Amino acid sequence: MKVLYLINYAGNAGTERYVENLIRAYHPNRCRCGLCYNLEGPLVDKVKAMGAAVHRIEMKSPFDLGAAGALAKLCRDEGYDVIHAQFPRENYIALLSRRFGSGARVVFTAHLTIEQPMPWRLLNRVMTPQDHKIVALCPEGAETLARNGVSKANTVTVFNGVDAAAMPPRDRAILAEFGVGEGELVLTILARLAPEKGLPFLCDAIARLKEKTALPFRLLLVGDGEQMDELRAKVKTLGLEDVILLPGFRSDADDLLAASDIYLNSSGYNEAMSFAILEAMACRLPLVATDVGGNRTLAELEGRSGLIVPYGDVEGFSDAVLKLMTDRELRRALGDTAYQKARGVFSLERSLDQTFELYAE
């Protein structure tokens, strides 16, 4: 069996991590894998290093017939049996490629938890029944797909997964780089610095937290993106330069999680099932997160491992963080539950097996 992963931008975010995990696990022993993309990014080199095939097709829009024809030819020439599309644009192009004789079944993973406008809902009712399977990453994502007119009949939920055994043991040595003292609590968030991540709201909540407690703490806000300058300005305006650290993108994010005490997620919309939260759970970190997308499932399914707060509730979010800061036993209990869930219901092996079953069908 040959599987082609279709993605517009082969960048360095959660969706690319999802594709990377699948190719790394399957290629070449379980199936032959390939990547087809439009805009080049770090994922391309990662896939090449795994020995999988890499192809490029320009994808201008969801109804790019030229792209659909080129994809059909690629599937015929290379013998791809399954196209695994990652976003609505790619899914529509994959489905249209069948009209051009691709011969490939289409699996679509919905990484977005955004309510679509009526034109998209009407199109989804026509197009998505043609998908072999549609993968929602959390129950909340499946509900959003249904409201968006996506076919319920072939929608399944497959959680993202994490390899808990691959995460480093707890070690605070890396914190010396940031000047963090031995007695300081470390809060961490790994995120693209983009509007959907709710980071200005998080800064407001941290400012309120600082007013409420004399306990020493730092927030490591790790990532890069278009909001970097805006966030630096906001941190300065709020007088939080000594509390909020913005180190940019880090290749050693796992080590930062292993040195942390509490993990935060402040997303305002579009958070299906965060890999960063899963990795934090594998490091035994309790969670404080907004009630968006799959965050509640991660925090509450099969045991409580975190506290959930409505997005925009500055008082509630700061209170939740303070509760964990002041209750060591609660932090330990939630962290232990998080770790057990990362090894079980959210394990990478389980996710990989369930996804492969969809291809095998």
Whole-angstrom Cα distance, residue 142 to residue 254?
Answer: 29
pLDDT score for 271: 85
pLDDT, one tens digit per residue, over 345-360 is 999 999 999 999 999 9
pLDDT score for 96: 98
pLDDT score for 111: 93
pLDDT score for 146: 96
Contacts of residue 295, defined as CB under 8 A and 6 or more positions apart, other chains included, come to 265, 267, 271, 274, 277, 287, 289, 308
Whole-angstrom Cα distance, residue 307 to residue 300?
Answer: 8
Beta strands (DSSP E) in 90-150 are 105-110, 133-136
Query: Hey, is 109 helix, strand or coil?
Result: strand
Whole-angstrom Cα distance, residue 318 to residue 339?
Answer: 24
Residue 229 burial (CB < 10 Å; 0-12/13-18/19+)? exposed
Q: Tell me which fold the domain 164-343 belongs to.
A: Rossmann fold (3.40.50)
> What CATH number belongs to 2-161+347-360?
3.40.50.2000
Fold agreement (2-161+347-360, 164-343): yes
What is the domain partition of the chain in residue ranges? Answer: 2-161+347-360, 164-343
pLDDT score for 272: 86
pLDDT score for 269: 83
Sheet holding 155-157, edge to edge: 53-56, 32-39, 2-9, 82-85, 105-110, 133-136, 155-157
This prediction has a pTM of: 0.91
Token pair of 108 as six digits: 């679509």
Token pair of 253 as six digits: 């994010």
Contact of 302 with 341, CB cutoff 8 Å: yes
Query: Hey, is 331 helix, strand or coil?
Result: helix
Whole-angstrom Cα distance, residue 268 to residue 291?
Answer: 8
| Low-confidence residues in the chain, pLDDT < 50 | none
